[in-house]
Structure 1
Amino acid sequence: MRVELVTTLKRQATKILSELHSSKEPVLITEHGQPSAYLVDVDDYEFMQKRMQILESLAKGEQAISRGETISNVEAKDKMNKWLK
């Protein structure tokens, strides 16, 4: 992973962004020698957000199953049909 100082980002933002878009490699921005932020490509960020939503939904589903909060396939289809109308 590439690491850049915040001052370098200020001076060379266009160059760093161009390289980020072509390499798709995140850039760790540091301030006073400490990690401060990650700079990531927009498409990669949106993909990560969608993946996180899917994983959170799966976790919620697994928790519901473990609590016995399930319905039959027929009930699910009926609910979906009502919801989609």
Structure 2
Amino acid sequence: MKTELVTTLKRQATRIIGDLRAEKVPVMITEHGKPAAYLVDVESFEANEKRMKLLEGLARGEKAFSEGRILSNLEAKKKMSRWLK
């Protein structure tokens, strides 16, 4: 991961974003010596968003299972029939 000062980002945003697009390496932006933000390329950001949605769905499913909220295959097919046509 690269690190850049917020003042460098202000002065060289075009170069930093160009490097980010080319190298696909996140950039940590620091302000007063402390992390303030991360810059990531669009493809990586969108892929991470998809991963998070999938993981959230899995977590909901695991919670439902642990709470005993489960259906048989036949019950699930009946409930989902409107989407499985």
TM range (shorter): over 0.9
Following superposition, the deviation at residue 74 of structure 1 comes to: 1.2
TM-fit CA distance, 1:82: 2.1
Kindly provide the amino acid, as one letter, of the partner of residue 17 in structure 1. Answer: I
Q: Which runs of 4+ in 1 moved over 4 A?
A: none
Question: What corresponds to 1:59 in structure 2?
Answer: 59
Q: Which residue of 1 aligns with 2:78?
A: 78
Which amino acid in 2 is paired with 1:71?
L
Q: In proportion to residue count, which structure has more helix?
A: 1
Q: How many residues align?
A: 85
Root-mean-square deviation (CA, aligned residues, Å) is 1.2
User: Normalising by structure 1, what TM-score?
Assistant: 0.93
Structure 1 unmatched runs, 5+:
none
Task: Please list the CA deviations of residues 25-82 of structure 1 after superposition, one character each: whole Å capped at 9, or x if unmatched.
Answer: 0000000111000000011011101101111110111111111100111111122222
Percent identity of equivalent pairs: 61
Using the size of structure 2 for normalisation, the TM-score is 0.93
**Residue 6 (structure 2) pairs with residue 6 (structure 1):** yes
